[in-house]
Structure 1
């Protein structure tokens, strides 16, 4: 099997795990070729408006300020401490994102271990913070009769120039019944661990992300083999996983959403390249002959 790129160059099929593209600085490079594919999450982060993050960061800063008000007031009177306190306060959203990323990474490790039939690491089961996520994930799998087809699989679209790592592909008879599709229907799935169950925790860009994975042309198996992307349904499922429970959230990820993703890709490309040269130097009035003579 061979794959033809947009330029018409033939790409040899991958062989061996080291032939799977790996993300680096916003790109996936296809090993053994000169093909670079833009990372889906990078496209979305640079091209998709996220006004909710502005309010989230502002609210978090206000919460941190009131929670540590005496210490901040104390520091404000001492120049040596003021700068450090200011820096700590303004980086609250970064600390929170790092905490969430750590939890999210652990949850993805749990899911991957389960899909591969491997035991879930004891360190996760004994961790008071991680264990509730594990319990609710396993409940989701049992209650919704989840049959996983793939996990943490790299997929790509050589024509449109992007690649990404999807969370999982799966089948679920209960979900299929609710969506009125055949029980063998394959769904693309994603897991989100942010927010609260009774609040926003799943956003439309997740549908755009899954619409890209759905429209992948190729995917790489764990042995490095490059194969065509299987057909998946136009509705994807986001598992909103929290310590207090879980919600399976259906998100549209059909061709209309993918068209929006391609627009976001253009915006991201503008930010990456053209935006740097759009604004020129300020103009100054030319010097008149009288001024030159003076």
Structure 2
């Protein structure tokens, strides 16, 4: 995960960037993209819980046998969260190394768990020799009201690319195109002191996917079509974070103990 150099705050589980010059707050790119449907999450969470239960059967049974059935249930329910947190920690630490390496800095001693990531990223750098122009900067869009921190903007083989480092076990997912498109179509790069840097032109995007077993450079189409999807998600974000709480009015309640009156028709007049 990219660590923003601009101040951020968390509201309702979403990240907002704080403009150092104006104090304005804008939702982060990844928070906006989280509005995408995630039908895979339920079967993934079920698999994580089932796997953890089988691999730790004695521990779980022991908790339950001591009379803490709810404790055993809660521990299993927390398996997906623990799995995600562990992966995020590895990804964050790997990103720190990648940033320093992309800048040409020495990383010194590396934890054994992270050394395969560092070695493979170094292989990528040696093979493609990217000219890294920006790393770990923040873009801002006043026009569409969002901000986000990107991993790198670099030139590889004459192509100008918005780039992202990924360490996910499940590979490179299509929504990265929306993510890179948001960076590419922002208004400018903003620095912690409030200064602005013109947004560079680009030919496309790419992901460097690094895993302990290897690495790959994956081209990404992050053009106008992907940005149109991002703009739609930006509207959905406003709906979820604010608008939906305003559309339902106060109900007109009847006294629960009263019996609704039955409306009867007026008596008919007899014809003269």
The normalised TM-score by structure 2 is 0.85
Q: Which residue of 2 aligns with 1:38?
A: 27
Partner Cα distance (1:60, 1:279) in 2: 37
User: Aligned-residue CA RMSD in angstroms?
Assistant: 2.3
Partner Cα distance (1:243, 1:101) in 2: 15
Tell me the alpha carbon deviations over residues 18-43 of structure 1, each in whole angstroms, 9 at most, x when there is no partner: xx732221211111314222111111
Partner Cα distance (2:193, 2:106) in 1: 21
Counterpart check, 1:239 vs 2:211: no
Q: Which residue of 2 aligns with 1:192?
A: 166
Contact 2:20 2:193 in 1 (8 A): no
Q: Which residue of 2 aligns with 1:130?
A: 114
Q: Which residue of 1 aligns with 2:129?
A: 145
Q: Which residue of 2 aligns with 1:28?
A: 17
User: 1:280, CA displacement in angstroms?
Assistant: 5.9
Matches within 5 A, 1:30-179: 30-45=19-34, 47-79=35-67, 81-122=68-109, 125=110, 127-173=111-157
Larger Rg: 2
Q: Which residue of 2 aligns with 1:288?
A: 260
Higher relative helix content: 1
Q: 1:206 aligns with which of 167, 176, 195?
A: 176
Unmatched 5+ stretches in structure 2: 263-272
Q: Which residue of 2 aligns with 1:9?
A: none
The normalised TM-score by structure 1 is 0.79
Unmatched 5+ stretches in structure 1: 1-19, 174-182
Task: Quickly say closer, same or farther: Cα 1:86–1:145, change in 2 above 3 A.
Answer: same
Partner Cα distance (1:265, 1:57) in 2: 27
Count of residue pairs brought into register by the alignment: 252
User: 1:278, CA displacement in angstroms?
Assistant: 4.3
Contact 2:21 2:194 in 1 (8 A): no
Q: Which residue of 2 aligns with 1:7?
A: none
Task: Quickly say closer, same or farther: Cα 1:225–1:114, change in 2 above 3 A.
Answer: farther
